[in-house]
Chain A
């Protein structure tokens, strides 16, 4: 799922400085699961903003609300108060939510409360790690299920570079060397031949190289008007 982190508070306050009526809007999907943008976090952030404003002697209405997802228009129907009653929305959904809501509701500025970081999974309680890069051309078939694009700092495709330090990537010591993990796993699976295979340079068209991406299922498109008899 998408993992995101709260932006630094001073950045948020700077963004909201011109506004007097703000809605902090959470999202019930990925950001709830990684404990960054759920209703509880929206409550806490709104309380922080109100306390900060009061401290400065500023007027600020900061409400908190949360909808099931911010990437489909229909969920906005569940808001406690209409968006138009605010001068700004601080969305604490992922970047998709911010962008989508901005598009759907152009009358009110939708500002990002989070920095969206990666696609990840929960490893141990309270920790999420990057597992996928969204490269559009999944190679997990020949890497024993471990993604070299996301889990190798250099996104190499032919094996480790010289920078493996005690099994960890020299770029980030908490990070395992992705290719070492792949090597071990392929060895376990008896598939080292995959590692021996020369992999040609990747086609980056699938990874934004060809521009903004889109998925369409034509069978789900709105039905055309019935032709008149």
Chain B
């Protein structure tokens, strides 16, 4: 077995329960605040920090730049790449750029459609899908790229990258079989770890984990911090594959306003604790409430 190419990979291989966090770049050049948050609350507490790539099709500073800036501050980035905005040339180029910058962890995603974001009139690309992006990464790692030379032979790279390749899955979707089949394909295409969409229902997650037993790559369960009962209800109605149980909604509604953040952290931490035995890690999506991360880790029983 080849040695781990990144600290994240190493952590997952060690068998420890791994926690990852996430930051979203700003809409603009003022990267100070988000970097500060990462340093303050995430550094040293989580194994790696995902950087979202033009999340929900809302234009922001690039995940490549922010991943590099995290790296400069001693924080392990997971460079998220969506296939919505760039064709295979640009994606392969950015992968090589990422490697050159020292970035190793890459999360390959399809990406929300432009219709969901703030530039609905732009042209969606999707030259590759997430499977294709994983294939591209695997191909680059083999010393070639997806193209051909004028004679029709595979190209040869001058300097070959190595990545720790990740993908995502939605465990709580209504029709789960297609998700599983796609996950199998992602693994076959080279995926080495999985970060899931938000899960709030441990029994459902347990069932899902049993169904993908045969896919032998580490899974980090995703938890989106619920900031309010309203947010939970909204997610139930509008976000596909996310189901917040009634009990949790009640818990949030019952919480007095000044206590809300604490209750949120409690809920997140409790969920991590409940699902810990089922998977290899947890991916915390705090939506800006990074200050809760220490609390959540404590609640989860993961504090050192």
Say if the beta carbon of B5 comes within 8 Å of chain A: no
Question: Are the C-beta atoms of A159 and B146 separated by less than 8 Å?
Answer: no
State in angstroms the CA–CA spacing of A163 and B174 once bound together. 11
Q: Mark A166-178, 1 if CB is under 8 A from B, else 0.
A: 1100111000000
Say if the beta carbon of A157 comes within 8 Å of chain B: yes
* Smallest Cβ-Cβ distance to B196: which chain A residue: A162
| List of A residues within 8 angstroms of B84 by Cβ | 154
| List of B residues within 8 angstroms of A155 by Cβ | 126
* Smallest Cβ-Cβ distance to A168: which chain B residue: B240
Say if the beta carbon of B88 comes within 8 Å of chain A: yes
Chain A at the B interface: mostly helix, strand, loop or mixed?
loop
Say if the beta carbon of B189 comes within 8 Å of chain A: yes
Say if the beta carbon of B143 comes within 8 Å of chain A: no
- Residue pairs across A and B with Cβ atoms less than 8 A apart, 14 shown, are A158-B129, A159-B131, A160-B182, A162-B168, A162-B240, A163-B240, A165-B238, A170-B113, A170-B240, A171-B113, A195-B181, A198-B131, A199-B131, A201-B135
Question: Are the C-beta atoms of B116 and A154 separated by less than 8 Å?
Answer: no
Say if the beta carbon of A16 comes within 8 Å of chain B: no
Say if the beta carbon of A100 comes within 8 Å of chain B: no
Which one of A153, A163, A180 has the greatest number of beta carbons of chain B within 10 Å?
A: A163
Question: Are the C-beta atoms of A160 and B188 separated by less than 8 Å?
Answer: no
Say if the beta carbon of B170 comes within 8 Å of chain A: yes
Q: What's the least CB distance linking B221 to chain A, in Å?
A: 15
Within 8 A of A (CB), among B187-212: 188-189, 197
Question: Are the C-beta atoms of B174 and A201 separated by less than 8 Å?
Answer: no
| List of B residues within 8 angstroms of A200 by Cβ | 132, 135
Question: Are the C-beta atoms of B197 and A162 separated by less than 8 Å?
Answer: yes
Count B interface residues, CB 8 Å.
38
State in angstroms the CA–CA spacing of A162 and B189 once bound together. 18
Say if the beta carbon of A192 comes within 8 Å of chain B: yes
| List of A residues within 8 angstroms of B132 by Cβ | 157-158, 200-201
Question: Are the C-beta atoms of A170 and B124 separated by less than 8 Å?
Answer: no
Count A interface residues, CB 8 Å.
30
Check A198/B188 contact, CB under 8 A, given A162-B240, A164-B240, A192-B181: yes
Say if the beta carbon of B39 comes within 8 Å of chain A: no
**Total residue contacts A-B, CB cutoff 8 A:** 95
Say if the beta carbon of A204 comes within 8 Å of chain B: yes
Question: Are the C-beta atoms of A201 and B146 separated by less than 8 Å?
Answer: yes
Check A154/B185 contact, CB under 8 A, given A162-B168, A165-B240, A195-B178: no
Question: Are the C-beta atoms of B128 and A201 separated by less than 8 Å?
Answer: yes
Question: Are the C-beta atoms of B181 and A154 separated by less than 8 Å?
Answer: no
Which one of A179, A199, A201 has the greatest number of beta carbons of chain B within 10 Å?
A: A201
Q: What's the least CB distance linking A38 to chain B, in Å?
A: 31
Question: Are the C-beta atoms of B126 and A156 separated by less than 8 Å?
Answer: yes
State in angstroms the CA–CA spacing of A187 and B197 once bound together. 25
Say if the beta carbon of A228 comes within 8 Å of chain B: no
* Smallest Cβ-Cβ distance to A180: which chain B residue: B175
State in angstroms the CA–CA spacing of A179 and B127 once bound together. 17
| List of B residues within 8 angstroms of A163 by Cβ | 112-113, 240
Question: Are the C-beta atoms of A196 and B184 separated by less than 8 Å?
Answer: yes
* Smallest Cβ-Cβ distance to B179: which chain A residue: A160
* Smallest Cβ-Cβ distance to A182: which chain B residue: B178
Say if the beta carbon of A139 comes within 8 Å of chain B: no
Say if the beta carbon of B55 comes within 8 Å of chain A: no
Q: What's the least CB distance linking A84 to chain B, in Å?
A: 39
Q: 9 more A-B contacts (CB under 8 A) besides A157-B132, A158-B182? A: A154-B129, A156-B126, A162-B110, A162-B169, A164-B240, A172-B115, A183-B181, A187-B177, A196-B185
| List of B residues within 8 angstroms of A179 by Cβ | 178
A170 contacts which of B116, B127, B181 (Cβ < 8 Å)? B116
Say if the beta carbon of B241 comes within 8 Å of chain A: yes
Question: Are the C-beta atoms of B182 and A159 separated by less than 8 Å?
Answer: yes
Say if the beta carbon of B173 comes within 8 Å of chain A: yes
Question: Are the C-beta atoms of B110 and A156 separated by less than 8 Å?
Answer: yes
| List of A residues within 8 angstroms of B115 by Cβ | 153, 171-172
Within 8 A of A (CB), among B159-179: 168-170, 173-175, 177-179
Say if the beta carbon of A161 comes within 8 Å of chain B: yes
* Smallest Cβ-Cβ distance to B189: which chain A residue: A198
State in angstroms the CA–CA spacing of A81 and B185 once bound together. 62
| List of A residues within 8 angstroms of B169 by Cβ | 162
Question: Are the C-beta atoms of B188 and A201 separated by less than 8 Å?
Answer: no
State in angstroms the CA–CA spacing of A70 and B184 once bound together. 50
Within 8 A of A (CB), among B103-138: 110, 112-113, 115-116, 124, 126-132, 135-136
| List of A residues within 8 angstroms of B130 by Cβ | 158, 161
| List of B residues within 8 angstroms of A159 by Cβ | 131, 178, 181-182, 185
Q: What's the least CB distance linking B194 to chain A, in Å?
A: 12
Q: What's the least CB distance linking B265 to chain A, in Å?
A: 26
Question: Are the C-beta atoms of A180 and B178 separated by less than 8 Å?
Answer: yes
* Smallest Cβ-Cβ distance to A193: which chain B residue: B181
